Structure formats: structure tokens, C-alpha cells
Amino acid sequence: MDDLKYMSGFGSEFKSEDPRCPQSLPKGQNSPQKCPYGLYAEQLSGTAFTAPRLENRRSWFYRIRPSIGHDPFKPFSNSNVRCNWDQQEPDPNQMRWMPFDLPKSNEKRDFVEGLNTICGSGEIKGKNGLAIHVYVCNVSMNNRAFYNADGDFLIVPQKGTLKVTTEFGKLQVRPNEIVVIQQGMRFSIDIDEPSRGYILEVFGRHFCLPDLGPIGANGLANARDFLTPVAWYEDRDVQYEIIGKYQGKLFVCNQDHSPFDVVAWFGNYVPYKYDLANFMVINSVTFDHCDPSIFTLLTCQSEMKGTAIADFVIFPPRWSVQEHTFRPPYYHRNCMSEFMGLIFGNYEAKAEGFQPGGATLHSTMTPHGPDAQCFEMAFNEELKPKRVAEGTMAFMFETCMELAVTEWGAKTCQKLDLEYYKCWKNIKKHFTGPAH
């Protein structure tokens, strides 16, 4: 745990005042004629005004200046953020990327300049779809803030702690934690070392906790473990760049003050972080391999019942106890697409080749499963209770959509491993032949 203050809960109605300005939240109304301390009121809407009450998300800021005080937006050209997946040639092959390169030390890149889109699908303008990015950076954003008009970012740091300043306050997010910064929220990221991580972006919808069905009222990710920052502001009149991602492209504008001037806020539309170590794992204690949906931490649902635009699934250290069972992931072909990343350790289905900071993509109906070596081990192992995934955290972004890999993912990054298919080449025939 870092030493910042947080409030806990998921989807709750929070309120927070910077302790330097007590009573800065208006009493009993949202928009008084004069707000306390001469602040301006500003609403940030995360759902349609008329969304059903249970899904309705909005927050109110009480800030030194309203966000509107900025110069016009201009294109921000230095970027590998893309949404042109409809122009990419389809490629159904199993893909594996070696760890994505950190920026070279003579080249300075902050979180925004270090964003690279690997793959995506769907419609940004129609608010239905997702994108997967990797960030690699070696400098802080300093007097620069970012917001995403297209959707929510679920950020998975793999190397380096992110010190995130948001309009709601500050969060620190280290590898093995995740942070969700939702559509429109402004933030700036400072780092202490060259840093890398993965981002799952969903357009126009939000993540929620999965239903638990017969599991009951508790388990998997519990609401109490999601942490939201407390109000913090700065009153700094300096040149600030605001970079927005809008319709898949980056734009920049200038303003003469820090956007982190929110003295108090309340609402249920907030950024939050979660420590993956808090995940309560459910699994079979008799036989067979459960589907990996048991490991779903957050989900963003499509219109189709039970079908996700994106699930965020983790594979934490746990006990494996199933009897007379082939314990690693089964061989399969899936109507969903599976993008996986590794924060640290080794993923059980592929002990070699899939490295922290790298990735794999197993596309719609493309066969995959344990490599030859993993199969032989699991086929012959003595089935005692044993710890698996010790010192490991792998995760999956799973989507019902078909993903297209960008030019950056397929070529520019130069990390695609063309030998990947060979890990399944030596799968032996074990067939004993027909009975005589």
C-alpha cells in the first residue's frame, strides 16, 4: 500500500473536500448562485442524463476555473494511437509478441507519447468496441494532462509505478495493481523509472463487477477493495497542455493554468484502482478445469446477454487440487478473442517464450492451448495439491469482437515472434490405436 489516502467501494456515491478548504462542497444543492470559496461548479457525465438510476454515473466538481478556459485544439502528431483497424489485412494466426521495447535513453517519451495501439475492433463514433494499447515511457508528463473522449482506460502497469494525478485527486499504481480512468477524466502521469504496461480501452460503456450467480454475495473482486482518490488541488498559473483522444486521434490545446484545480467533488463517476492480490479465487475442488471466466475481475457488457465487449481476467497464484484432471488450460477454439499479457512470472500453459511485458493474441476460432512441453508435464504429473502460478500474474483481455492488429502491432514494433507456432509443433500422438 502507498501512503496516499483513498475511499473504498465500487459504484458508490463518494464525496471529498481538500482538507485545506473545509466546507468547500455546497450544502443541499449542486449549483448554488455562489459556491463556497468562489469556486465554479462543473458536472462530468459518464452516462446519458436519462440512463437508468442503477447505471447512471456523474460527478460534480467544485474547481478554481471551469474546464472551458482553453485555446483551440490542434492535431497532436507524435502518436501511434490508431483506430484504423477496418483498413488492416486480417490475420488469423496465433500471435506472440516479445516484450515491447522501452524508449531508448536518448529519446524522451511520456505516457501520452508512449501510447501504441496494438489491436482493436468496433466503432469509436458509434461507441461500440475496444482497443488494446501498450504504453512505454521514460519521462513524466509534467505540465501536460490527458483525457480520453472515446472511452475508458483500464491500465495494467507491468514495469514502474504510475503516480497519477487526476481531477479527483492522486493515486499511485504499481505493477500488480490496475487503475481505471473513465471517459473524459483528466489525468497526468509521473514516473520514477522507465515504465511499461497494457491498456484495455472500451468505447462508450463502463466496466462493472461481474454477477456472481451461485457463488453468492461475496468473492472474486469485492467492492470494498476498489480505491478512489480524495480531493486534491493545485492553484498553479502555468502553461499547461491538455491532450485529448477524440475519435481515435490525439489533439492538443493550451491553457494558462493547471487543470488539477478541483477543491471538492462528489459523485459516482470516479477513477479507481485495485490491488490484484485482493482477488478471491474460486476454482474446482473436485475434478475438471473450470472455464477462465471464474477469474473475471471486471467486465464491460455488450447488448448480448452474458457476452462481453471486454472482460478483464487475471490468473493469480492459487492452489491446484483437481483429481484425475488435466490441470493446465485445455486445448480450445473460442468464438471470443483472447489477448493475454504477463506482469511477472511464467504462464502455466507456456512456460517459455511468453515473457513479462510481452503479449499473445489467439483470435476468433484460432486453435490454441498448452505447448508440447506443458502437455507432456501435465499428462505425466502426480496429481497432488500444489501451488500454481506462484510469483506470476498473467491476465487476459477477452472480447466477443474480432480484433484487427494495427501496423504498429504487426510490423513497426518489431516484436512479433514468427516462430510462435513452433511451440505446438512437437505435440506427440498418444493414440493407442483401435482395440483388437
Footprint on this chain of Fe ion (rule: CB under 5 A):
338
Count of CA atoms in the C-beta half-sphere (13 A) of 249: 8
Q: Which is nearer to ligand OMD, 5 or 318 (CB)?
A: 318
Q: Would you name the residues annotated as active-site residues?
A: 289
CB 176 within 8 A of CB 277: yes
* 64: partner contacted, choices ligand OMD, Fe ion, none (Cβ within 5-8 A by kind): none
CB 235 within 8 A of CB 17: no
Strands 128-137 and 115-123: antiparallel
Chain residue at closest Cβ approach to ligand OMD: 329
Distance, CA of 175 to chain centre: 12
Residue 198 CB, nearest approach to ligand OMD (Å)? 16
Q: Which is nearer to ligand OMD, 172 or 337 (CB)?
A: 337
Cα–Cα dist 204/200, whole Å: 13
Q: Which is nearer to Fe ion, 338 or 417 (CB)?
A: 338
Residue 334 CB, nearest approach to ligand OMD (Å)? 6
* 396: partner contacted, choices Fe ion, ligand OMD, none (Cβ within 5-8 A by kind): ligand OMD
Q: 338 a known binding residue?
A: yes
How many CB atoms neighbour CB 22 within 10 A?
Answer: 11
CB 206 within 8 A of CB 303: no
Q: 257 a known binding residue?
A: no
CB 258 within 8 A of CB 46: no
- Cα 63 to Cα 6, 40, 42, 422: the distances in Å are 20, 5, 8, 57
Q: Which is nearer to ligand OMD, 11 or 292 (CB)?
A: 292
All three cell numbers of 340:
493475454
What is the enclosing helix (H) or strand (E) of 407?
helix 407-407
Cα–Cα dist 365/2, whole Å: 42
Residue 317 CB, nearest approach to Fe ion (Å)? 20
CB 389 within 8 A of CB 316: yes
CB 424 within 8 A of CB 371: yes
Q: What are φ and ψ of residue 150, in 5° steps?
A: -85, -25
Q: Which is nearer to ligand OMD, 16 or 360 (CB)?
A: 360
Residue 422 CB, nearest approach to ligand OMD (Å)? 17
User: Tell me, what amino acid is at 436?
Assistant: H
How many CB atoms neighbour CB 390 within 10 A?
Answer: 10
* Torsion angle of C-alpha atoms 155, 111, 165, 147, degrees rounded to 10: -80
Count of CA atoms in the C-beta half-sphere (13 A) of 308: 25
Q: Which is nearer to Fe ion, 57 or 96 (CB)?
A: 96
Residue 277 CB, nearest approach to ligand OMD (Å)? 20
* 96: partner contacted, choices Fe ion, ligand OMD, none (Cβ within 5-8 A by kind): none
All three cell numbers of 37:
470559496
Residue 329 CB, nearest approach to Fe ion (Å)? 6
All three cell numbers of 419:
516462430
> Which residues are at the interface with ligand OMD (CB under 6 A)?
292, 329, 332, 338, 349, 362, 368, 396
Residue 92 CB, nearest approach to Fe ion (Å)? 15
CB 84 within 8 A of CB 405: no
* Torsion angle of C-alpha atoms 220, 224, 228, 229, degrees rounded to 10: -130
Q: Which is nearer to Fe ion, 194 or 292 (CB)?
A: 292
Q: 347 a known binding residue?
A: yes
User: Tell me, what amino acid is at 216?
Assistant: G
- CA 112-299-188 angle, 5° bins: 20
* 104: partner contacted, choices Fe ion, ligand OMD, none (Cβ within 5-8 A by kind): none
State the binding site for Fe cation. Answer: 332, 338, 368
- Binding-site sequence positions: 332, 338, 347, 368
Binding positions for homogentisate: 347, 368
